[in-house]
Structure 1
Amino acid sequence: MTSGYGAAVGRRARLVAVAAEPEDLTPRCLRRLAEVADELEVRADLVGDPDPSRLRRHFRGPLTYSLRSARHGGRSTVGPVERRTRLLRAADHYELVDLEAMDDVQPELLAAIPARQRRVSWHASEHAERSGGGCRAGLLEASGRLRKRFAAMSAVPAALYLLVPRSGTHYGSTAPLLLTGLGRTDVTAFASGPVGTWTRVLAPWLGAPVVFGRAGAPEADGMPSVSRLMSDYGLPALPPLSGLFGIAGRAPGGSLSPRLHNAALRELRLPALYLPFKVDRFSRFWRWSFDFGSLGGLPLRGLTVTAPHKESALQVADVAGPDALGCGAANLLWLDAGCWRAATTDAVAALRALALVGVDPSGRRAAVIGCGGAGRAVAWALHEVGARVTLVNRGIAHGLEASSQLGLPYVPLSRFSPAGYALLTHATPLVEREPFPVAAADWDAVVLEMAYRDPPTALTRATHARGLVGIDGWEVLFVEVREQFRLMTGHPMPGTLLPRSICFDPAEQADTHGHTASGEPAPTHPVRREAP
């Protein structure tokens, strides 16, 4: 049994499916994985020790055995004797056996497991990889520690080396920095957790020979599913890459923006990739994204921005459009002739979605429920085209603030009735219940839902049941993504792309979370908080 790793042949990475649940090892799942994945990794700390001969009946590719310990972020708590026994037994049946640095690098194991079967790995402990100093100094210090870690690991000959530092305040940027500096083709490095998801996806373009995806549904560890790696990022193919776009928000992992943008980039053969950036503090992320090598040496060319960072996005721009200035927020940043421009595509998306169904807001009485960045943008746009707009918000403080900023009347949600309004726009992440009683709306009212979800949101269902004209968040999403793509790349999104067929991937049907049109996940439970 051998496993050879080297430079990607034909610009293609090796796709490794990680079995982390017993259901991932059923014959049906294994046969499905055999059609798309090159290798299968068995997380024995999560699924136990399955019979390798049974696995090979349904999956013909190489098998990797991993008994990840609690010290390395896994679930295994077995003692050293049992651990050595299981690793040695696995060496008789698996092409690769994961050896944790430096605990498993022992004479007995090294003598029994040849270098061609070894994957030497290191996952940072909870308190490892703390940042130090300022922005650039902290990045270089953390990168230096990671290089020393790899130097110690590489003293042990192996087929593959795997390093997973913690994301920390560096947003995982030390992992790409390591890959770009080593110039080796037997090393894979990415950052842990959802903050590091973008490093997992980008790593193959920087020289990593493999990319890991969950065999089943993705979990909170930041590892996308195999189907999402393929549908959202086009992996394992590695077309030329010279720049990056992305979505920055607090939970971008479930957004469909990467799928739509990357499909268009591939169709037009533009050498760019659109990545998800989980961001807690936008100003800090903005600094890191421009630091030396922090994004693998690839320039950032544009970002879509979701709550709660839309106000911060406006602040970092060099030039802002009238829509962003008018509502005090931006959900798009793009580089234009060395200048960062800001806009809010929520405004144009809402107006165009209304125009597609023949609705002219001019002169109509309109209510906008939600005073976050999207709600303010839609309210500003409707007011600009002559609608008589009233703001509605659950949180009184934010409602009054938006009212003062836009010069529009405000009504608390607790006192709001949809009666008398010709146009009702919902711009909060609430999807599980109606934000207002649709039954009380006028018979000829038009309802614009900014959130998208499959199955439809409660508001969309109630609108259709009442027989009202309704525009769901999917239509807004498709309009908005086209506008964002045009501004960021300078190219129209190809007309040959069918957004609905791209979005509704059968392999992803289990993911039913809702999102706003600009990518912000919408919780699937009732929201009892102030809208972002």
Structure 2
Amino acid sequence: MTRAHPPSVHKGATCTPVGTLHGPPWRHTEDMRLLDRAGGGLAVRADLLGDIHPAVLRDHMSGELIYSLRTTGSGGVYAGSTEQRERRLLAAAKRYDLVELEIGRDTTPAILAAIPPHHRLLAWYGPSTTSTSLTALLARFSQMAGIPARHYSLTTHAATAEQALAPLRLLHKLNRTNVTAFSVGETGPCGRLLAPWLGAPMVYGRIGGRTDEVPSINRLLRDYPFPAVPQVRHLFGLAGRSVAGSFSPRLHNRAYRALGYPGLYLPIPTTDFLSTWRTFADGLAALGFPLVGGTIEAPYKEAALRLAEVASGAAARAGAANVLVRTESGWRAHTTDPIGVVGALGRAGIQLTGRKAAVVGCGGAGRGAAAGLLRFGVTPTLVNRGQDRGGRAARLLGLDYVPLHRFTPEDYSLIVHATPVREDLVFSLGQLPRDTILVDLAYGRRPTALVDAARRLRLRVIDGWEVLRIVAARQFRLMTGRSMPNFPAPEHLR
């Protein structure tokens, strides 16, 4: 089958990162300065913040300022009268570089006469009940294009991966450089970040507010190549239920840039892994961006193994996979969990010989860690809260299993914590000997409860960041055939 080719992106192409301000500007000066250094613009949510005079923002922002008075029907909170709205929009047009006008509601003769086309950002927000097919979006844009504007924006609500692809198909069909289109919803982040490679002139990140659907401007600029839009020939995905906190995109995308490799690594949050992965693989290839590999987070590692036509010996033994690589015959499954723990221990100079080990958590990561220890001569005991999963893992690997409520941590000199729990202690550390080694696979914006408690007790700890660096480097090698540069830990994890 002949693949479609994406619109040509000339060498040195850029898009404008736009931070959407959801909180008082004085609380977010650092993010605004970061955005300004990237040549970005700032969209002010006046429906949330009120009418902020641009002079307040100019100390931190030299880029374009966008005024947005989003209504309740468009995902905002403005519910005032038509007359009040018109007065605010017209006043903003005198001070802001662009004013967001909602199609239909704001495109009245009076407003259009007062706000010239070069100050207009014409926007449409499609509710979840609105059809998101390519045909429907083309018809919607045809209606919008009849009104001259500097920028056009279409935002759909996607309940499925197929719906999340529709805005990308629209961009591919239009092949214009003044239209931004993406979806919000579960699978939306992937399309939002890919849209600039299909001609979208803007990519949005939030400043303030709390949601995993929209990346923060900090993550947008640190994890992805923006404002540059470098050539991309290979897409890689990070699939899981909640992937917004992962540092994998930062590691992989920084490595692509350092090596000049034409890759892009994108998040694919989903609650239906098999359907989403297959839909994106087919849909993105049709747009000229083949999905050639990816990393898989819990709880989809077993499903990833089932998806693959071929599996590595390590993945087959663990009964789970966290890497998928496209080959001529289909997907090949691998697991890097075994090398993560033993590699991090080895890098820290910790000898495994003679240690009595336990692995707490019997999901894909725990089984992989146990398999890795076995390969290096350590026979761990498996520990799990649920007996069904614990017993199954023990039978699969030929290891002993202990229910969590009967687990005695002080009996072990090496403990690997492989559950997703970050904020609470899964087991007590009070009686552990000082020479106990703890490995915590979880990581986040701040140290986990286990790492905090262990450090207070002055125990030796290998945190999730150290394991991630080993795992990510192996994943990078499997997916690209290249070696990943060794990057330092993010500042807040040092």
TM-score of the superposed pair, with normalisation by structure 2: 0.92
Aligned residue runs from structure 1 range 123-272, under 5 A: 123-129=125-131, 142-170=133-161, 172-193=164-185, 195-214=187-206, 216-217=207-208, 219-220=210-211, 222-272=213-263
Partner Cα separation in structure 1 for residue 16 and residue 244 of structure 2: 22
1:391 alignment partner in structure 2? 382
Q: 1:28 to 1:236 in 2, by over 3 A?
A: closer
Measure how far apart 1:408 and its partner are. 1.8
2:487 alignment partner in structure 1? 498
Give the AA of the match of 1:154: A
Aligned residue runs from structure 1 range 346-495, under 5 A: 346-361=337-352, 364-494=355-485
1:22 alignment partner in structure 2? 24
What SS does the aligned partner of 2:128 have?
Answer: coil
Give the AA of the match of 2:95: H
Q: Which moved more, 1:227-236 or 1:293-302?
A: 293-302
Count the aligned residue pairs. 484
Partner Cα separation in structure 2 for residue 203 and residue 329 of structure 1: 32
Measure how far apart 1:363 and its partner are. 5.4
Measure how far apart 1:19 and its partner are. 1.5
Measure how far apart 1:467 and its partner are. 4.0
What SS does the aligned partner of 2:184 have?
Answer: coil
Residues 183 and 207, structure 1, Cα contact 8 Å, conserved in 2: yes
Residues 23 and 208, structure 2, Cα contact 8 Å, conserved in 1: no
Partner Cα separation in structure 2 for residue 485 and residue 100 of structure 1: 43
Residues 177 and 295, structure 1, Cα contact 8 Å, conserved in 2: no
Measure how far apart 1:427 and its partner are. 0.5
Partner Cα separation in structure 2 for residue 148 and residue 292 of structure 1: 21
Measure how far apart 1:219 and its partner are. 2.7
Residues 288 and 294, structure 1, Cα contact 8 Å, conserved in 2: no
Residues 25 and 55, structure 1, Cα contact 8 Å, conserved in 2: no
Q: Deviations over 1:232-276 (max 9, x none)?
A: 002101111111012100111110000000000000001110001
Measure how far apart 1:309 and its partner are. 0.7
Unaligned runs of 5+ in 2: 1-8
What SS does the aligned partner of 2:63 have?
Answer: coil
Give the AA of the match of 1:190: F
Measure how far apart 1:24 and its partner are. 5.6
Q: 1:221 to 1:363 in 2, by over 3 A?
A: closer
Q: 1:313 to 1:28 in 2, by over 3 A?
A: closer
Residues 192 and 221, structure 1, Cα contact 8 Å, conserved in 2: no
Partner Cα separation in structure 1 for residue 197 and residue 463 of structure 2: 37
Q: Deviations over 1:128-177 (max 9, x none)?
A: 236xxxxxxxxxxx111111111111111111110011122126111111
- Alignment of 1:13 with 2:2, yes or no, is no
Q: 1:492 to 1:31 in 2, by over 3 A?
A: closer
Give the AA of the match of 1:91: A
Q: 1:227 to 1:305 in 2, by over 3 A?
A: same
Q: Which moved more, 1:48-57 or 1:105-114?
A: 48-57
Residues 212 and 244, structure 2, Cα contact 8 Å, conserved in 1: no
Measure how far apart 1:481 and its partner are. 0.7
- Alignment of 1:101 with 2:90, yes or no, is no
What SS does the aligned partner of 2:183 have?
Answer: coil
2:265 alignment partner in structure 1? 274
Q: Which moved more, 1:50-59 or 1:98-107?
A: 50-59
Residues 102 and 153, structure 1, Cα contact 8 Å, conserved in 2: no
Give the AA of the match of 1:85: R
1:71 alignment partner in structure 2? 73
Unaligned runs of 5+ in 1: 1-6, 131-141, 513-532
1:325 alignment partner in structure 2? 316
Partner Cα separation in structure 1 for residue 293 and residue 60 of structure 2: 43
Measure how far apart 1:124 and its partner are. 1.2
Identity over aligned pairs, percent: 43
Q: 1:34 to 1:442 in 2, by over 3 A?
A: closer
What SS does the aligned partner of 1:477 have?
Answer: helix
Measure how far apart 1:225 and its partner are. 2.2
What SS does the aligned partner of 1:438 have?
Answer: coil
Pick aligned residue for 1:50 from 46, 49, 52: 52
Q: 1:290 to 1:35 in 2, by over 3 A?
A: closer
Q: Deviations over 1:356-378 (max 9, x none)?
A: 23444455432110011101111
2:301 alignment partner in structure 1? 310
Give the AA of the match of 2:63: G
Partner Cα separation in structure 2 for residue 359 and residue 489 of structure 1: 30
Residues 289 and 295, structure 1, Cα contact 8 Å, conserved in 2: no
2:277 alignment partner in structure 1? 286
What SS does the aligned partner of 1:254 have?
Answer: coil
Partner Cα separation in structure 2 for residue 454 and residue 183 of structure 1: 39
Q: 1:305 to 1:57 in 2, by over 3 A?
A: closer
Q: Deviations over 1:502-523 (max 9, x none)?
A: x22xxxx5xx9xxxxxxxxxxx
Partner Cα separation in structure 2 for residue 229 and residue 154 of structure 1: 29
Residues 129 and 168, structure 1, Cα contact 8 Å, conserved in 2: no
Q: 1:34 to 1:454 in 2, by over 3 A?
A: closer
Q: 1:324 to 1:221 in 2, by over 3 A?
A: closer
Residues 173 and 294, structure 1, Cα contact 8 Å, conserved in 2: no
Pick aligned residue for 2:91 from 74, 85, 89: 89
2:41 alignment partner in structure 1? 39
What CA RMSD, in Å, does the superposition of the two structures yield over aligned residues?
A: 2.3
Q: Deviations over 1:56-110 (max 9, x none)?
A: 4553332211111110111111121211121122222222111111222211111
What SS does the aligned partner of 2:337 have?
Answer: helix
Partner Cα separation in structure 2 for residue 462 and residue 44 of structure 1: 43
Residues 318 and 368, structure 2, Cα contact 8 Å, conserved in 1: yes
What SS does the aligned partner of 1:17 have?
Answer: strand
Measure how far apart 1:277 and its partner are. 0.6
